[in-house]
Structure 1
Amino acid sequence: MKYSAVLASGATVVAAQNASQGCVDLPKPVANLTFEATINVDVAYRYQTMIGGGCSGAFGAACTTNTLSAANQNAVVEMLFSENYGGLTVLRNLIGSSPGSTILPKVPATPCGPFNYTSFASINQDSCQLTLAQTARTYSPDLYIYADAWSAPGGFKTTGKEAGGGYICGVRGTNCTYDWREAYANYLVQYVKMYQQQNFRVSLLGAYNEPDFNPLTYSAMLTDGYQAYDFLSVLYPIAKKAFPELNISCCDATGARQQRDLLTELNRLGGGKFFDVNTYHNYQSDIKRPFSDLLPYGQPTLETEWSDGGSTWTATWDLQGNNFEGLQWAVYMNNAFKNNVAGWLNWWCTWNGPDAPLILVNGTDYFVSARVYAFSGYFRFARPGAVRIEADSSVEEVYVTAWQNTNGTIAVPVVNMGHNAYTVTMNLAGTGVNHAVAYLSDNSHNVSAVDDFTFENGAFVATVEPRAMKTFFLDNC
């Protein structure tokens, strides 16, 4: 028995040596794999209405282009907001609360006033945000401005400071000498009035930014859902009286899960009637399911901020596979849209360092990240007011949404995460279109028009390249 065991052991060693030398037949790779997918689009099933894509000029980011020539300053904004390039339509403004950026440099001793508001000119044109809005509007005439406060002025809060958390005086759990809720509501409305005086319509107004997170070092104010009710029940009627068409947001939590927790508390008090747009960030948790069960009045959902917060500038489409390359960004947006999100905002539009701006400004030069092309693949073609319609893929790694614009054109952004090209059969039930232009983004193309063709009977076959986004823009030729 021992002798047999030795023989068996020796045979195993020899077989292993032969295998390592290529002497043993190994399983052969499967040949002639086919990569085919079917996408079904159906206008009979309709979902959310597109608000749009956007970015922010907060904390002086809007001023970073000042080192560029006038021509390049204009080119950067055109790259972001022109329908021929980035297609962005939303600008998120910071309602400043820090010295040098706030419209209320001195808080009065009591909520009775006086409230001596300063001009935008005295705070560098609202920290260059007004200038950015003026230029952006030349490329996006119906620019959607989201005016959002990170904090109330320090004198309105429990801490007496605008940075490092604290609560607005007057909500449950606070013990201040005065109730500053009405003063804070009027302060926010005053910012909207000042933009109106500059011939701008603010579309959305927010009182909070990441109220579940205390950064300690910069502008911030905390709230839970119950305290948010206490303030929004004051803000909502005041804002609507001044601007009946102005929408109010709630509440820009750090992640989708955190936003769900806040809304759950708010709804226990019936607070769903005190906001018009559900807003969240994508930092601590990505969206996994629609918010519809927490939106009693059918409010739309808008993702209003995300970046990597890192120290390395990421400009590539698909090199490392990290979250902030263009290809990955395209999938994150696809998944959000599938969960009924109506728009997606990057953090900064431009910046002179990393932290994932869409465009990096370095002295007199600027550099465009591939995330711009992911944005473009959606927002150039699915314009504000477009309605998401049913679109499903037969293949896990081929992602798709579809949008019908108000003029009847159809945008079908397709993202192929696979490492091989797919032959895609597109079925377009009830769309009434017969002409397509295909726009490709990958490591070699930046939303480039690569195909133009007509088709019949509501269907066509096309190729979607590997690790790529291809948007099919369809009309009736």
Structure 2
Amino acid sequence: MRKKHFLSLSVMLFLPGIFRAKAQNTSFTANKTVTVYTTAQNTAYRLAKTATLNFAPKPQPVETEISVFVDPAKTFQSVVGFGGALTDASAETFYKLPKNKQQELLQAYFNADKGIGYTMGRTNIQSCDFSSGSYSYVNEGDAGLKSFSVKHDEQYRIPFIKQVMAAAGGKINLFVTPWSPPAFMKTNHDVLHGGHLLPQYRQAWANFFVKFISTYQKMGIPIWGLSIQNEEMATQTWESCVYTADEERAFIKVLGPTLQKAGYADKKLMAWDHNRDLVYQRASAVLEDLAAAKYVWGIAYHWYETWTGGEPQFVNVRRVHEAFPKTNLMFTEGCGEKFDYSKINDWGLGERYGNDMVNDFNAGTTGWTDWNILLDEKGGPNHVGNYCYSPVIADTKTGELHYTNSFYYLGHFSKFVRPGARRIAASSSRSSLQTTAFINTDGKIAVIVLNLSDQKIAYNLSVSGNAVETSSLPHSISTLIIQ
């Protein structure tokens, strides 16, 4: 009996320690301030510094208070970067601008201090819809690629990419994507209107990728990565090619070894590169085949599943991340469709970007690249009339640049969330405020707060038992930097 009493007493002696509140780690807020940058509708704020705030103790908010909670100790995926597409259309439009406007655009996108600090780019292998016409790098029927030449790209796109690289400090992480193999390699013998890659040309097409990468690199443009095919399940009026899951797996098993043999095993190979609706089905089909999966760095995806009239399917991205946590998720294209010049100032353009970026990163995405970085006053050039919006629109008649609000919404991420940053835990106590947060390699914390409502919302930014009081303007996005 004495032994039992001793054990009970021992447990009781430890009870105060069990129930004592654990001290919160205040190192993330000690001697630090919060600088707020805001873009908001019906104001002049465009990535504008709007407040500098100081933390005060606030260990427990009440339920009537609105709060955004950030826990820097809980880290998730790393960020590879942000960028946009350097298409034929962007390059051609760029060289129609006066020299001073060209420099303005490059600084706006690629200068980390004076601009929004893009570090990534995407470009097309052969023609796409955002080209002035269809073209190929080889003559019809040349499976041996003896006629291979990128002379077409030397007029606009290659010099444009080189200027982009210079503006970005000497390099960008550029990845490349084909819209279609040459016509003779396809079932429909047409670069347009879908069709499939003929099995007998899988090796020739894999060799084509290697030829493109080696040619660009010899011309001073390093290639960071590649995707198999743009929008693999879409039959379009423009350049397109359909890959079923079986066809994509089969091609990866040819392309992967071909890249390795050429010394390009370091290139980041991405599968899918289409919408969120089927992303889990395709990811599972490819990644559960270990003979294909060993060559795949990531799963690329777009945002156009809303063509059905439904909502963005962020949950499908999350499911891929949950099922295949070691595989990178990369957003590779999005834009406002059906261009109308009279609507380039519509606030909804940027809000779509903000909503998608917050939810994509919270679902596990590692990088985010927009579609064309620059288009003209018609939303082109586009050789099939598929005119779209870009964050910056050039009026080639006047030489002026028009920055849509999507440019600033993108900048709230790209300027403050730098390559190597890690997403950290962030949550909001109200659905009217969306949030995500990151800690950079230099220790600076970037918290993004998105307000899609018509209301000004006062809230606390709460970190480690300390908080600052601030507010979110109607239809706004803010980045709060803790440093």
**Smaller-chain TM-score bracket:** 0.7 to 0.9
Contact 1:92 1:147 in 2 (8 A): yes
The Cα of 1:302 is off from its aligned counterpart by 1.1
Query: Which whole-Å CA distance do the structure 2 matches of 1:239 and 1:39 have between them?
Result: 46
Structure 2 counterpart of 1:147: 176
Contact 2:280 2:320 (8 Å CA) reproduced: no
Q: Give the match for residue 391 of structure 2.
A: 358
* 2:414 paired residue number: 379
Greater CA deviation, 391-400 or 347-356?
347-356
Q: Is 1:135 equivalent to 2:135 in the alignment?
A: no
State the secondary structure of the residue aligned to 1:67: coil
Task: Please tell me whether residue 184 in structure 1 is matched to residue 205 in structure 2.
Answer: yes
User: Residue 301 of structure 2 aligns with which residue?
Assistant: 280
> Structure 2 vs 1, CA of residues 419 and 140 (structure 1 numbering), >3 Å: closer, same or farther?
same
Aligned length: 394
1:86 aligns with 2:116: yes
| 2:352 matched residue in structure 1 | 328
For CA contacts below 8 A with separation 6 or more, give which structure has more relative contact order: 2
Matched position secondary structure for 1:213: coil
Q: Is 1:408 matched up with 2:443?
A: yes
Q: Distance in 1 between matches of 2:436 and 2:303?
A: 20
Q: CA deviation at 1:376?
A: 0.4
Q: Which amino acid aligns with 2:245?
A: G
Contact 1:163/1:218 (8 A) holds in 2: yes
Offset at residue 244 of structure 1 (A): 2.6
State whether residues 272 and 297 of structure 1, in contact with CA within 8 Å, keep that contact through their aligned partners in structure 2: no
- Say whether residues 1:230 and 2:254 are aligned partners: no
Cα–Cα, structure 1 residues 159 and 136, in superposed 2: closer, same or farther, change >3 Å? same
SS in 2 for 1:180: helix
Q: For 1:380-439, what per-residue CA distance to the aligned partner results, in whole angstroms no more than 9, with x for missing partners?
A: 00011111000111111111111111111111111122333222222223xxxxxxxxxx
Name the residue aligned to 2:329: 301
The answer on whether the counterparts of 1:87 and 1:375 sit within 8 Å (CA) in structure 2 is no
**Pick aligned residue for 2:99 from 70, 78, 88:** 70
Q: Which residue of 2 is the match for residue 266 of structure 1?
A: 286
**1:240 alignment partner, one of 255, 260, 265:** 260
1:443 aligned partner: none
Of 165, 190, 195, which residue of structure 1 is paired with 2:216?
A: 195
The answer to whether residue 134 in structure 2 is matched with residue 117 in structure 1 is no
1:84-113 deviation digits (Å, cap 9, x = unpaired): 3232222110001588743324432xx4x2
Q: Which amino acid aligns with 1:264?
A: S
- Distance in 1, Cα, partners of 2:325 & 2:299: 11
**Is the CA contact 2:321–2:329 (under 8 Å) kept in the aligned structure 1?**
no
1:466 and 1:36 map into 2 onto residues whose CA distance is 18
Kindly provide the CA deviation profile for residues 122-145 of structure 1, in whole angstroms up to 9, marking residues without a partner as x.
Answer: 2142x6222222122223234111
Distance 1:36 1:316, change over 3 A: farther
Partner of 1:219 in structure 2? Answer: 239
After superposition, the C-alpha distances for 1:9-36 in whole angstroms (9 at most, x for unaligned) are: xxxxxxxxxxxxxxxxxxxxxxxxx994
> How far is the alpha carbon of 1:298 from its aligned partner?
1.2
1:219-248 Cα distance to aligned partner (Å, 9 max, x none): 111011111000011101211332131110
Question: Who is 1:439 aligned against?
Answer: none
Identify if the C-alpha distance between structure 1 residues 268 and 340 changes in structure 2 by more than 3 Å, giving closer, same or farther.
closer
Confirm or deny: 8 A CA contact 1:317 1:371 kept in the other structure.
Answer: no
When the two structures are superposed, what TM-score results if normalisation uses the length of structure 2? Answer: 0.76
Report the TM-score when normalising by structure 1: 0.77
Gaps of 5+ in 2: 1-62, 307-311, 380-387
Q: Distance in 2 between matches of 1:237 and 1:86?
A: 37
Q: 1:415–1:470: 8 Å Cα contact kept in structure 2?
A: yes
Letter in 2 for 1:137: M
Residue 55 (1) aligns with residue 84 (2): yes
Instruction: Output the CA distance in 1 between the equivalents of 2:322 and 2:195.
Output: 26
1:221 alignment partner AA: C
Change (3 A) 1:131 1:85: same
Question: For 1:460, which of 441, 453, 468 is the aligned residue?
Answer: 468
Q: Secondary structure at the match of 1:284?
A: helix
Asked if the contact 1:100/1:123 (under 8 Å) is kept, the reply is no
After superposition, the Cα gap between the structure-2 partners of 1:470 and 1:268, relative to the gap in structure 1 and judged at 3 Å, is closer
Residues of 1 paired with 2:477 and 2:233: CA distance?
A: 35
Structure 1 residue 210 displacement after superposition: 0.7
Q: Which runs of 5+ in 1 are unaligned?
A: 1-33, 171-178, 430-456
Name the Cα RMSD after superposition: 2.2
Q: Who is 2:30 aligned against?
A: none
Quick check: 1:206 aligned with 2:227?
A: yes
Q: Deviations over 1:147-185 (max 9, x none)?
A: 111111112222222222111111xxxxxxxx1111111
Alpha-carbon distance between aligned partners in 2 of 1:240 and 1:376, rounded to the nearest angstrom: 36
Structure 2 Cα separation of the partners of residues 301 and 129 of structure 1: 27
3-state DSSP of counterpart to 1:471 = strand
CA deviations 1:280-322 (Å, max 9, x no partner) are 110015232214357646111111111222131343363xxx4
State yes or no: 1:257 paired with 2:281: no
